[in-house]
Structures are given as C-alpha cells and as structure tokens.
Amino acid sequence: VALKRMLNFNVPPVKNSTGEPVWKVLIYDRFGQDIISPLLSVKELRDMGITLHLLLHSDRDAIPDVPAVYFVMPTEENIDRMCQDLRNQLYESYYLNFISAISRSKLEDIANAAIGANAVTQVAKVFDQYLNFITLEDDMFVLCNQNKELVSYRAINRPDITDTEMETIMDTIVDSLFCFFVTLGAIPIIRCSRGTAAEMVAVKLDKKLRENLRDARNSLFTGDTLGAGQFSFQRPLLVLVDRNIDLATPLHHTWTYQALVHDVLDFHLNRVNLEESAGTESTPAGARPKKKNKKSYDLTTSDKFWQKHKGSPFPEVAESVQQELESYRAQEDEVKRLKSIMGIEGEDEGAISMLSDNTAKLTSAVSSLPELLEKKRLIDLHTNVATAVLEHIKSRKLDVYFEYEEKIMSKSTLDKSLLDMISDPDAGTPEDKMRLFLIYYISSAQAPSEIDLEQYKKALMDAGCNLAPLSYIKQWKAFTKMASAPTSYGNATPKPLGLFSRVMNTGSQFVMEGVKNLVLKQQNLPVTRILDNLMEMKSNPETDDYRYFDPKMLRGSDSSVPRNKNPFQEAIVFVVGGGNYIEYQNLIDYVKGKQGKHVLYGCSELFNATQF
C-alpha cells in the first residue's frame, strides 16, 4: 500500500478513476529494486503509469516532459547523481523519495544543486518513505539484501568486533525495524532475552521510538498513518530473539515445499533460478546437444498453488501437482474446442457458421481461455520446480536425513548409528553429513567423549567434509549456558505413511520410488515456543527474565515484569542474526490453531544451511 501510494505521487490511489494514469518514470537504486520487486510485477507497475523503470546509476536519456519518481537510499553517491540529473534537466518534475530518513545536510546539498540548476520549481516533493525493509510474504520480512554481510550472523558474532562496528550494525538493524513500525503505524511492546545482541537492538529501538513520540510536531505515529486500520486496538508484541538460542534449526534438513526450495535450489527474494536439464526434449539424431539454459520463476502471493502448498510436506506437493495436471488435461480438449469456436484453428465454414449463432459461447470462450492458460503456466512452473527438488531428494537421500535429524532432535531411539550414516558413500553430500553431525553435537545433552569425537572426525574427513564449522560450534557450546540445558524440540517424530497412491502410478510426472512418504507432526521450535510463552503470558523459566520495554511509558523502566497482563493478539518475531523458512513455517502452523491471532516473522537476513 505504501509503495502504491508513493508511485501515485504520495496521494492514496483513487479506486474508481476512469482516466489513464499519469505516465511517469521510476528511478531506483539496488535497494529500491529489492524492495519493489517481490511486491509489484512489471505489469502492476505499468497499470500504475510507470512506463520506464531504471537504475539510478545507469545511463539514462533525458525525457523532458515526464515526471520522475525517485526511490533511493540517501547515500552520498545517490545524492550526487540526483543533483547531476537536476543539472542536466532530465525530467519535467522530480518526486524524491528516500527509503530511509535523509539527513539535514544532504537535503541542503540537493537544495543547493536545485538552485544552481535553476530547477527549484521542478522538485515537486521530497519524502522520507521509511520503507527500509523487504517484504517477502504477507507475514514475513527481511531487513536488507544488498550489503547483508554487514548485518550477518558472522558480523554480529565475530570475536574481534569493535564497539563502534557493533554500534553501526545495531543502528542499521534498528533503522530498518523503525521503518517497519512506521509503516505498520503501531508502537510495539518489546520483549527480548538478556545479554544478547537482541537486547542491544531492543534498547536502541525503544530509545528511537520514544524520541519520535516525544517530538509531537514531527511524530510519525499520529492518526493519519496508513496502517491505522490494520490493527485492532491492542498494540502488537515484538519479540526479539537472538540466533544463538537455536543453531540446530538453520542446519536442519527440511521436508516442506518452500523450505526445500530454499535449501536445495537457488531461491532468492521470491525468485527461483533453475538450470533446465537438457534431456527433456528429444534432439534429432546428429543435432548438437542443447546447452543448459537457465530459467527463473517468480513464486509470489498471486500464485495460488504456491500459497496453498508452500507449507505442505513434499510428497503432498508432488501429488497435488499431479492432480492439477490431470484436471487440466481434462480441460485441454475444452481449450481446443474454444480455439476452434473462436476460429483460431482454421477458417473453415464450420467455425464461421458456429460463430454466427454462438455469440454466447464466444463470450464464454474469451473469458475462460486466459484463465486456463494461466493455470497451465502454473502447473508447468511447479512441475519444473518440484522435479528439480525431487532430483536433490533422491540423489542426496534427504528424506533419510530429515527423518534421522528429527529423531536426534526429539531424543528418540535411532535405528542406525550416526557413524554408519556418515560413512555411507551413497547418502548425501559431505555438507549434508556435516549438517547432520552438527545437529547431533548441538542437541546432545553431553558432548561426545574425545575418543568418540576423534572417530566421528575421521569419518567426516574421509567423507570429504570441511571441519571448520565444528570448531566454532564447539566454542559456542562451551561458551553458552545452553550446554547445561539443551533446547528441546518437542518429541514428535515424522510418521511414514503408506506409499503414495497417485504418484506411484507409472503415468505420473514424478518418479517417487524409494522416497519415504513422511508426514509432519506439529511441534514447536524454540523460537515458536518463546513466542507462545510471551504472547499468551505463560510463566516459563525460559522466558521469565526477558526484558520488557514500552516506548509509550514516560520513563523507561528496566523491569522484566510486564505491565500488560492480557494475552496479545498480534505479534512480530524478529531474529537478530538471520532466519529461515523452517521457523517461518513453524510459526504459521502454530498460528493456524489460534483464533484471531496474527504473527509476523522477520529476520536480519534469510539464509539456507549452506550459506549459514
């Protein structure tokens, strides 16, 4: 909503305007591009009158009779370039929107350039948009993508970090969170664990919100914000968690569709990049083998299949794609018939005579054809994506890993020794083995003895693993008090069901032999459990000493005793140090069982196990 308002020159778009939109140019930097691209497609931009969208630092030609909307970070080089645009008189008028608040001195630089270029009247509006965060789903956001190594897990947890560097990182995170709440139009109640990076974020965010509320003239949280209508009267709860409370989940092999896509494919800002296997089309004899071409697909909120199945276990997804395909094939004859009605096939008399007396049929054909073609496109997309995922599952035995790790994390009996798994040459890549061992190491109550550890290390080395992560986890485990009480992951192990009926048919797209049909049981991960305690006001030693901040109170009090005793309806969980789709999915499943509650998941960056 905020972006659309900005593209409409900062006035809310009128619903029923008949006329053409005002044609305009959109100029953004890489940050702006990352914020807009998961939310608005090129077609939606065009509907809003954006004829051209260009990067700020590309060579752009002058278009003197068109207004330009800028959406950029207020950095030195961006501002220099904008001043240059003013001097070169590129556009008719300029609407300058800054992703994050611009400083006074930089505004003066622009003003001076405008005076120098005699273009003061052309600068129509200057806005701080407070949109410095990237929304990936209706209930999920990440902070940044461009220089995410600045706020990565590694940056925060480096042993040699200086205080000033830490301040900078925290300010970056707080700036984005502040933008997030300005856009929501709500002041949260903040809870965080003590003695972690999350606590530093909480203190700074509390201070920043407090200062903004005190400054009554310029407060961003007065009545006319966009988000005023989105929330009930209650204020949302913000739970700030540190990644270090749970390092096993980011390494865990997963079984739900979205998390699998993120784990094994190149999935980034809602777009997945696939290499198409060359073997699909039969090449005529003697022809050169086709080179692999890359395809990218957008998995967005408008994709109904994705919305419905992104949290489903993979076998269910394969079955649903198959069902969709069969129902489409049934309609395919209908498509052929419609085409012939519309005379697309060939202009024979039959088609034309039908045209004259079938006007009604014709209108229905016109309306249902695009819908069927769109359905076909989605089926093809998910067939390709799911097939690519399936190849990974089969070649790396990911189903075995997933089941085994779930057993380790839920402390159930193991049917096969860990050493066998590690030394099995057919199961998984060296990286898969390392992930498995780290999870075992993190979730074991007491660390394995030196003798055992040496044995594991040797097996891992023989399997070609890089042992660097182990030394970090060893230090981490010695350092955190967590070693005394390992995080519990519930005690639900996945149940294998019977083999897939539909997918096992020979006619199916997906050859699922040998892949276990595992079904998940809902169990709360540590992040979800912490949220549950704080949102429902349950007393629990794990969360009782969490600090409590309320930026609306006149004096900040350093208490962990909540003033508010009622359970919350809305909550935002934010993981400092990075998050993943496994936790996101776990939260969504948790909320499904709660009537009328909303939970949003945010993290400083999104990584899969490899990146982690």
Mean pLDDT in residue range 160-182: 92
Residue with tokens 């948790």: 590
Residue with tokens 């092999």: 253
pLDDT at residue 45, as a whole number: 92
pLDDT of residue 500 exceeding 50, the answer is: no
Q: Which of 258, 297, 256, 294 is nearest to 276 (CA)?
A: 294
Beta-bridge partners for 224: none
Beta-bridge partners for 127: 97
**39-80 residue pLDDT tens:** 998 988 998 899 999 999 999 999 989 999 999 999 999 999
- The strand pair at 24-28 and 50-55 is best described as parallel
Query: Are 425 and 454 contacting, i.e. CB atoms less than 8 angstroms apart?
Result: no
Band of residue 239 on the pLDDT scale cut at 50, 70, 90: very high
Beta-bridge partners for 272: 267, 297
Considering the domain delimited by 398-483, tell me its CATH architecture: Alpha Horseshoe (1.25)
Residues 6+ apart with CB under 8 A from 76: 106
Half-sphere exposure for 610 (CA within 13 Å, toward CB): 12
Scanning 358-498, the segments in alpha helix (DSSP H) are 359-396, 398-409, 418-423, 430-443, 450-462, 468-479
The predicted model scores a pTM of 0.83
| Assigned fold of 132-246+525-611 | Rossmann fold (3.40.50)
Q: How far apart are CA 392 and CA 407, in angstroms?
A: 22
What is the Rg, in whole angstroms, of the alpha carbon atoms belonging to the chain?
A: 28
**259-300 residue pLDDT tens:** 999 999 999 889 999 887 644 444 445 555 555 678 889 988
Do the domains at 1-128 and 132-246+525-611 have one common CATH topology?
Answer: yes
How do the domains of the chain map onto residue ranges?
1-128, 132-246+525-611, 266-275+293-341+363-395, 398-483
What average pLDDT does the chain have?
A: 82
Better-scored residue on pLDDT, 220 or 520 = 220
* CATH superfamily of domain region 266-275+293-341+363-395: Sec1/Munc18 (SM) protein, domain 3a (3.90.830.10)
Q: Does the domain spanning 1-128 belong to CATH 3.40.120.10?
A: no
Helix axes 581-592, 257-264, angle to 10 degrees: 180
Q: How far apart are CA 64 and CA 85, in angstroms?
A: 11
